[in-house]
Amino acid sequence: MQDWRDAKGPFAAIFGAPALWLLAFFLIPLAIVWAYSFGRPTGLTDIAITGTFANYVRTADPVYLGIFAKSIWFAAITTLLCLVVGFPIALVITFASERGKALLLLAIMLPFWTNLLIRTYALMAMLRTEGYVNTSLGWLGIGPLPLLHNNFAVTLGLVYVNLPFLVLPLYSALDRLDKSLLEASLDLGAGHLRTIREIVIPLALPGILSGLLITFIPALGSYLTPDLLGGPDSQMIANVIERQFKRANDWPFGAALSFILMYLTFICIAGQGLLARRREKAGAV
Amino acid sequence: MTLRTRSREAKGPLDYARNWPLRIWIALVLVFLYAPLACLVAFSFNESRRNIVWTGFTFDWYGTVFGDDELITAFVNSLTIAALSTLASVVLGALVAVALWRFRFPFKPVFDGLVALPIVVPEICMGVSMLVFFSRVVPWPTDLPWPLDLGAIVIAHISFSFPFVAVIVRARLASFNRELEEAAKDLGAGEFRAFIDVLVPHMRPALIAGALLAFTLSLDDFVITFFTSGPDTVTFPVKVYSMVRFSVTPEVNAASTLLMAVTVVLTLIGLKMQGKDVAKMGNG
């Protein structure tokens, strides 16, 4: 590795453009939102940055606390369901033949490459009262069930959208395991479930945890899924933020909510990092 | 599924891929993932407007889509934005990767963390920051000729795409033999020549993968575009969103099918190009 002072010209040429871009079109916009979160609206479009904490105090209102709790609940249940659904898939991919592996990974990833809005729309067409599921149930004499515009639809939609986020990291965690340990456990008489519980999960835990994090974070900030599939009581933080910026026109309050969402995200990442470090230390001793 | 490898051999204890309950589970999950998309595609060819019961095959809805100027404009906008943003993201992402790989500089861990930030920051937060930036700090003129009027959206897309490219290129650079670059310089190549002739060919597979990811991310993005776009600059997802909110119609099915086809074709091309590159490296 080269010290930047030994090659100032090339360093400036390589480092300059991306650093400036990041500063101008990412950090400064975020910093402005952060500053707005300490301001108050003084008219239709004007905002005075007064250093007030009033916006943050307002987020402690039970209505907004409820929405935060609901968002965390949605994201947590989604992550858990993705784990339950995705773990067997990751297990199969790990132990499939080369060709089977490639095909299954492609099959799991292809919907993931498809536009999020289109996937959500496809679910709407399935779930609505005149949708395919209810029509089929109707032929059996059941229903119509209320499948769309409620919390059930949001949870289903979040699982549908986020499942590949969890399967991939799970697969890469399981793929790194030493397979002979699993064989030894099975040889010594442990059943499959016990082997998974006592060998696979503890050994793959760091990978599993980071997979959970990768699923939880985007789920927590979901906007489109609750917006299109949810009912009036299934709003998540992102929907409230959108309303502050687009309709209620209370940008400082929206900015405060945005930053609370950011802080929650950072806390999750830091927590996971701490856990990983503690495990490493425990392993070293 | 062709999961059977050694079908004639006895089943090993770890052959989870040949375990029937697990196979049924996989089949169910694949149905869950694909059934909605399959229905969406199938019913884009259905005669009935009601979109539920199959009444007959037709291409009419595609005709409607191609006759819908707004939808076509939105589609062209989306592809243009994706192309421009991909180009810039690949360049910026590669530069980030090279800078972090090649140089020691003060506050390097800080820069490393900041560059990864757009990947983890929730979309909605980035969306509102772009809304604030382009309406208050640098108001993007609304009367610019196409495609300059898309500038704000392109800038926003580059900001969330290039860190992904950087991650991919960095992983690739880890396997580069630095002596090759030194050799090129010993043989008289200047900084720039060594970069273009030695480093860039090595990064090529990662650049293609990064470009593919950047293109898909841009084409896929709704939330950030929704906040950045003005009333006159509509992208395909934003347009579909306004159509979808109220009804499920076969036109939307047809338009969605077209976009899905574009994405699938691009993904396959990208995979194929990467495969070729890997094969070439194996031979050379």
Using CB atoms, which residue from B16, B37, B253 is nearest to A114?
Answer: B37
Residue A137 has which token pair?
């149930």
A252 in a structural domain:
no
A282 in a structural domain:
no
Mean pLDDT of A208-237: 92
A149 to chain B: which residues are within 8 Å by CB? Answer: none
Say if residue B155 is in the same domain as residue B31. no
Is A14's CB within 8 Å of B33's CB? no
Mean pLDDT of A235-260: 92
Minimum distance, in Å, between the CA of residue B145 and any CA atom of chain A: 22
Using CB atoms, which residue from B92, B155, B244 is nearest to A121?
Answer: B244
A58 in a structural domain:
no
On the question of a cis peptide bond just before residue B109, with omega within 30 degrees of 0, the verdict is: no
CB-based contact A123:A114 (threshold 8 Å): no
A2 in a structural domain:
no
Is A113's CB within 8 Å of B129's CB? no
B16 to chain A: which residues are within 8 Å by CB? Answer: 91-92, 94-95
Residue B16 has which token pair?
């989870």
Say if residue B48 is in the same domain as residue B76. no
B243 in a structural domain:
yes
- The string of pLDDT tens digits covering residues B186-197 is 888 888 888 888
Per-residue pLDDT at B6 exceeds 80: no
B interface test, pick of A8, A49, A85, A113 with most B CB neighbours within 10 Å: A113
Mean pLDDT of A206-227: 92
B220 to chain A: which residues are within 8 Å by CB? Answer: 115-116
Say if residue B102 is in the same domain as residue B44. no
CB-based contact A147:A134 (threshold 8 Å): yes
- The string of pLDDT tens digits covering residues A266-280 is 999 998 888 888 877
Environment class of residue B32 by beta-carbon count within 10 Å: exposed (0-12), middle (13-18) or buried (19+)? middle
Q: Which helix (H) or strand (E) holds B156?
A: helix B151-173
Q: What is the mean pLDDT of chain A?
A: 88
How many Å from the N-terminal Cα to the C-terminal Cα in chain B? Answer: 34
SS3 A40: strand
Q: What residue spans of A96-200 are helical by DSSP H?
A: 98-113, 116-127, 132-139, 151-175, 179-187, 192-195
Q: Which range marks the domain in which residue A82 is found?
A: 74-235
B8 in a structural domain:
no
CB-based contact B213:B164 (threshold 8 Å): yes
Lowest mean pLDDT among A71-85, A101-115, B27-41: A101-115
Phi then psi dihedrals of residue A132, to 5 deg: -65, -40
SS3 A48: strand
Environment class of residue A189 by beta-carbon count within 10 Å: exposed (0-12), middle (13-18) or buried (19+)? exposed
How sure is the predictor about A132, in pLDDT bands with cuts at 50, 70 and 90? Answer: confident
- Total structural domains within chain B: 2
B145 in a structural domain:
yes
Kindly state whether B245 is in contact with chain A, defined as any CB-CB distance less than 8 angstroms.
yes
- The string of pLDDT tens digits covering residues B107-163 is 999 999 999 999 999 999 999 999 999 988 888 777 777 788 888 999 999 999 999
Which residue carries 């999961």 as its tokens? Answer: B3
Say if residue B22 is in the same domain as residue B82. no
A104 to chain B: which residues are within 8 Å by CB? Answer: 1, 3, 26
CB-based contact A268:A71 (threshold 8 Å): no
How high is the pLDDT of residue A157? 95
Is B244's CB within 8 Å of A124's CB? yes
ipTM of model: 0.88
What CATH number has the domain bearing residue B191?
1.10.3720.10
How high is the pLDDT of residue B7? 46
The Cβ of residue B175 has, within 10 Å, a number of other Cβ atoms equal to 8
What CATH number has the domain bearing residue A173?
1.10.3720.10
How high is the pLDDT of residue B276? 61
Residue with more model confidence, A132 or B6: A132
Residue B53 has which token pair?
């019961």
A47 in a structural domain:
no
Is A125's CB within 8 Å of B248's CB? yes
Least Cα distance to B216 among A76, A242, A94, A164 occurs for A164
Q: Which range marks the domain in which residue B32 is found?
A: 17-58
Environment class of residue A281 by beta-carbon count within 10 Å: exposed (0-12), middle (13-18) or buried (19+)? exposed
B11 in a structural domain:
no
- Total structural domains within chain A: 1
User: Above pLDDT 70, what percent of chain B?
Assistant: 90
How high is the pLDDT of residue A284? 56
Mean pLDDT of A190-203: 83
A260 in a structural domain:
no
Q: DSSP secondary structure string, B222-247? A: -HHHHHH--TT---HHHHHHHHHTT-
B99 to chain A: which residues are within 8 Å by CB? Answer: 11, 14-15, 18
Minimum distance, in Å, between the CA of residue A68 and any CA atom of chain B: 15
